[in-house]
Structure formats: C-alpha cells, structure tokens
C-alpha cells in the first residue's frame, strides 16, 4: 500500500535543493531577496501587507517568509502594535 500525501488541489510541494550541482535556487523570501537585516516597526506599509484585514499576522506559508524573517516580522509587528501604529484587532 502506498502512503502518498497530496495537497488539497493536488499540488506538489516544492523542495529546495541547497547543495545541488552548484546551481543555487532563488531565495523565496521577500526580505532575504532585498537583503533586509532589520525589519523596521515604523515601516507600516510593509507590515500591513503581512496582516489580514482583521489584524492577524499571516502565517509563514501564506506570507512566504523564511523562518528567520518571519521572526523579525513578528517582533516588528508586535512593536508596531504596542506603539499603536497597527491594530491588535479590528
Ligand atoms: Zn528571509
């Protein structure tokens, strides 16, 4: 018996090859692509794109961020919320 998991629409999950044949795959994360080292909490336009209209943070899968950048975004959004730049909920 085969135990093959398929996505809802039959999508196949992409797998990154990190050390394959010298060809480096393009980084998917928007912050890594731009070379951002620090996500500014005052940059509301950028952060707003990573929030739902109710003010929830998009998941890593949805936003396409890598783990490190998602962590930076999370900190930035929470700082922005505390400074009343972004809503906790709406
Ligand atoms: Zn990244």
pTM of the model: 0.68
pLDDT tens digit sequence for 33-49: 988 899 999 999 999 99
What is the reported pLDDT for 90? 85
Is 72 exposed, middle or buried, given 0-12, 13-18 or 19+ CB atoms closer than 10 A? Answer: middle
Q: How far is the CA of 1 from the centre of ligand 1 (A)?
A: 39
What is the reported pLDDT for 8? 58
- Rounded mean pLDDT of the chain? 83
Residues by chain with Cβ below 5 Å of ion ligand 1 = 29, 31-32, 66, 69
SS3 of 60, please? Answer: helix
Q: Please give the Cα distance from 88 to 71 (Å, whole number).
A: 17
- The more confident residue out of 34 and 11 is 34
pLDDT tens digit sequence for 63-74: 999 999 999 999
Is 59 exposed, middle or buried, given 0-12, 13-18 or 19+ CB atoms closer than 10 A? Answer: exposed
């Amino acid at each position: 018996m085969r135990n093959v998991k398929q996505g809802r629409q039959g999508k196949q999950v992409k797998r990154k090859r990190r050390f394959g044949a010298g060809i480096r795959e393009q980084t998917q994360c928007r912050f890594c692509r731009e070379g951002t080292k620090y996500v500014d909490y005052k940059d509301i336009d950028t952060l707003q794109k990573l929030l739902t209209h109710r003010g929830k943070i998009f998941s890593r899968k949805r936003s396409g961020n890598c783990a490190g950048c998602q962590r930076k975004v999370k900190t930035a959004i929470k700082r922005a919320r505390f400074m009343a730049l972004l809503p906790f909920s709406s």
